[in-house]
Structure 1
């Protein structure tokens, strides 16, 4: 250390150049540093959640959690799997190995889960997402003497207006039921074609699926193949052929 100090004393020009270099590097880092008032933290975790209304925790564990765990257990990059079964819902938290490509493992898990066909028919489709930790900036309450549809309409209008503001990337609203599509079939029609409501429900579910089709690879790129067949609007079900 003494030798270095002595050398800089004898070579003041080099010392000044080094000082300028350190100062310039610090200034450049300051100008390019990303600063967030409320930073978004993405831990190396992937969550799979499934709603199964009316099911007990034991039913959730046996019919939902175990099949999913068995499906993804052999994937590379998984450090640990933590599962939770509660009334009406099952959650599987996948912790990713340090240094592993989280995006690649997310795609692998989603492909495997989307291809699972042994879950109960009454269960909702599994939702696979990366865990992102966010902090709320503002809470708004929308209320008034109006029906739910009116409140939902204005909640969506407020959400759209907020998203138009610069600096706002996500807005969520809670407390309102999601829209549902009801399919009504006369009992006479069921008897005519020898069908039950359970059979019709199974056929409708089978005709409204997004299916994983595997992967296509070349030396430089990799593509995930998916068949999109899920229906979102009532008109898409109106002329659905159930058989024949």
Structure 2
């Protein structure tokens, strides 16, 4: 049974139905835009996982795990748990070493957190006298952006010089962290005859 719809339905879909050329042009624009944008899109297999945490290490030579836990961890941990922004704490006690890890809220000001942790540690005055001073380590995450391969018909030493120069140029434009791989560290070879060793009363072990 036919129904009289009256005026043709309005809207974008009805417009493209009546003007197929416009629909095709829009499709071409979308395809071209996608092809242009694809190389500029950042892709990675795993998402960035940024964990803001600070680890405190305290050494105590000769102390057992139970003594370390009672005299260091149980004394430091309450003060550290009171630091602003801390969401979780974990500790590990073993022979001669105590480790306390603090996790902070996402996006927390970690520079301020380091200062607050230092203040909290300074407020604890009853640690064992022969224990080492607490050492604070902030874990920093870095996402690798790209790899640059340097090769050519030159020696390894020359390639190493090129790599060092490239790192210097990167630093000048604001890239402050880079790693050089595939080149052995420089070595110094000292050759001494056996006669010279005997003359100066020097052994190979020395």
1:21 aligned to 2:29? no
- Matched with 2:53 is 45
Q: Distance in 1 between the 2:61 and 2:79 partners?
A: 23
Which residue in the other structure is 1:90 paired with? Answer: 98
Give the equivalent residue in structure 1 for 2:64: 56
Provide the rounded CA distance (Å) in 2 between the counterparts of 1:111 and 1:169.
37
User: TM-score under structure 1 normalisation?
Assistant: 0.44
Partners of 2:62 and 2:95 within 8 A in 1: yes
Gaps of 5+ in 1: 135-163, 171-244
Gaps of 5+ in 2: 1-10, 143-163, 168-177, 182-206
2:116 aligns with 108
Q: Counterparts in 2 of 1:83-162, with a 5 A limit?
A: 83-131=91-139
Number of residue pairs the alignment of both structures matches: 136
Mapped to 2, the partners of 1:104 and 1:4 lie a distance apart of: 54
The structure, 1 or 2, with the larger RCO (C-alpha pairs under 8 Å, 6+ apart) is 2
**Higher Cα radius of gyration:** 2
Q: 1:71 aligns to what?
A: 79
CA RMSD of aligned residues (A): 3.8
- Structure 1 residue 100, shift from structure 2 partner: 3.2
Correspondence list, 1:164-175, <5 A: 166=167, 167-168=178-179
More strand by share: 1
The answer (yes or no) to whether the contact 1:8–1:15 under 8 Å persists in 2 is: no
Q: Which residue of 2 aligns with 1:197?
A: none
Provide the TM-score with structure 2 as the length reference: 0.51
Equivalent position SS for 2:41: helix
